[in-house]
Amino acid sequence: MAELQNIKWSELGFSYIKTDLRYISIWEDGKWDDGKLVEDNKLHISEASTGLHYGQQCFEGLKAYRTKDGKIQLFRPDQNAKRMQQSCDRIRMAAPSVEKFIDACRQVVKANESWVPPYGSGATLYIRPFVFGCGDTIGVKPAPRYIFSVFCMPVGPYFKGGMTPVNFATTGFDRAAPSGTGQAKVGGNYAASLMPHEEAAEKGFADCIYLDPSTHTKIEEVGAANFFGITKDNKFITPSSPSILPSITKYSLLHVAKEYMKMETEESDVLIDNLEIFKEAGACGTAAVITPIGGVQHNDKFHIFHSETEVGPVTQELYETLVGIQLGDVEAPEGWIVEV
């Protein structure tokens, strides 16, 4: 085990830290090169790159966890790899294979082992793989060259305060168009979210809730995370829509709720005017895992779920079970864990 960096792990936020090495691979003439680890965290690309002008780029986010016995493991990296392939296909980019994706992530984590936070610190190693189009292309068409890169950094909780309820407000902006790129993890979706997020934050909310772009009657996403609710009869419900990003955390929670907690689960419409069916609610994603939702402001009505200050018991159990799997304290379903 490499000697750990001298960092106050428990004080980390969610921000960029330059670590020792990152992975880079180039696609050209129909194939990817072997890829390599490099020290330089700067990329030198053509001014005519499609990733700069036409948004031909996508990214992923996953984490490495240190277990109680000091091992390091990745959580479901094959699912991130497959989602990246879907994103690349949607905007006509070359995509790394699942094997190349996982190998790149393992290489980066192993090369930066001293940056993997210790077990019990509340911190994790965040991994950011990305692909973008580069080369000399000024017309609106796929790039002749692509870069696939992976870097990592230790992070603390995404929201200050960690696992504590926060409030959200609905927005009139749309996150994605019907039949658009909502299911792809492309940068344009996130650039479009910056203004609605700022407006929500100025009003004292953690972020905004996006409603379906067609009718504005159904919850789609909560900021950059997926929504879930626990009904009064203990059912786990999460929205279903072709413009929602398929969250790996959400699908993991669906499995945990059904197989570990013996709950009924459902992907269906979640009407914004019918929040009273839920006793608890949360937002889920790789960065925060679960963010409990205290209340939701919609028009002139503020709906409170379990509490604005305390985490609901079902949400707490979901969180502890999933994090337990990620940290190696709870037995994982087959294929979910990849050791580094």
Q: Known catalytic residue: 185?
A: yes
Is 26 in contact with 143 (CB distance < 8 Å)?
Answer: no
Buried (b) or exposed (e) across 140-176, using 16+ Cβ within 10 A? Answer: eeebebbbbbbbbbbbbbbbeeebebbbbbbbeebbb
Q: Which of 71, 141, 185, 279 is catalytic?
A: 185
**Amino acid identity for residue 10 in this structure:** S
Closest CA to 322 of 272, 250, 273: 250
Other C-beta atoms lying within 10 Å of the C-beta of residue 198 = 12
User: CA–CA distance from 211 to each of 43, 154, 187 (Å)?
Assistant: 37, 33, 20
Residues near 194 by beta carbon (within 8 Å), at least 6 away in sequence: none
Q: First vs last Cα of the chain: how many Å apart?
A: 12
3-state DSSP assignment of residue 169: strand
CA distance 205 to 25: 40
- Per-residue b or e along 242-260, where b marks 16 or more CB atoms closer than 10 Å to that residue's CB: ebbbebbbbbbbbebbeeb
CA distance 123 to 78: 22
- Alpha helices by DSSP H, listed for the chain, are 50-53, 77-90, 98-111, 187-191, 194-202, 248-255, 313-326
Q: Tell me how far CA of residue 335 lies from CA of 15, 21, 62, 77, 137, in angstroms.
A: 30, 27, 16, 10, 40
Task: Count CB atoms within 10 A of the CB of residue 138.
Answer: 11
Q: Are strands 337-339 and 207-211 parallel, antiparallel or unpaired?
A: unpaired
- Catalytic residue set: 185
